[in-house]
Structure formats: C-alpha cells, structure tokens
C-alpha cells in the first residue's frame, strides 16, 4: 500500500471523526444565559477550535492505527466479512 493511500484513508477518517467530535462539551448560548443578538440560542457560547482539532487528530489516529493493523498487518479486509445473503449468480 502506498504512502499516499495511507494518508488518504487517514484524511477520510479524520473528517468523519471531526463531525463526531464537534458536539463534545459544547455549551449553547441559552445554557450560558448569554445570547448574542442576531444569533440563535443553540449557537455555541465558546467555540474551542484548537481543542476540537487536537481531539479529532488523536481519535482519528487511533482509529487509523486500528484499521492499519487489522487490514495491512493481519490481512483482514472486506472479503473477511462473512456473507449472510446467498449469491444469486
């Protein structure tokens, strides 16, 4: 597997993980009782971009490491998943 492929898979995992990590620990403006005029009450009171990026990077690196070990080193792939439906061809 080429280095570019490994990086591309990490990039995809990172973006998926980002959307999972975004709501962690977010307090809305309504919860803080500090609604800025012109914004919705459900908007974050403080957006901590660096914290989100670092947490996303750590979690994505762990997921990527697990994927790399199982697929490249141990040889498990999509073909290792058993088929429960019959083949009709």
The rounded distance, in Å, linking the Cα atoms of 56 and 46 is 18
* 43 has pLDDT over 80: yes
Q: Kindly report, residue by residue over 56-82, the tens digit of the pLDDT.
A: 999 999 999 999 998 888 888 777 777
Question: How confident is the model over 12-19, as a mean pLDDT?
Answer: 96
Burial group, residue 63, by CB count within 10 angstroms (0-12, 13-18, 19+) = middle
Which residue, chain included where needed, has tokens 């908007």? 43
The pTM of the full predicted model, rounded to 2 decimals, is: 0.76
The rounded distance, in Å, linking the Cα atoms of 61 and 7 is 11
């Amino acid at each position: 597997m080429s280095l570019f492929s490994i990086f591309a898979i990490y990039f995809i995992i990172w973006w998926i993980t980002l959307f999972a990590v975004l709501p962690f620990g977010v307090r809305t403006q309504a919860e803080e009782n500090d609604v800025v005029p012109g914004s919705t009450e459900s908007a974050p009171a403080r957006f901590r971009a660096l914290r989100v990026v670092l947490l996303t990077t750590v979690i994505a690196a762990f997921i990527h490491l697990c994927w790399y070990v199982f697929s490249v080193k141990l040889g498990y792939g999509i073909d290792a998943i058993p088929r429960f439906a019959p083949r009709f061809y």
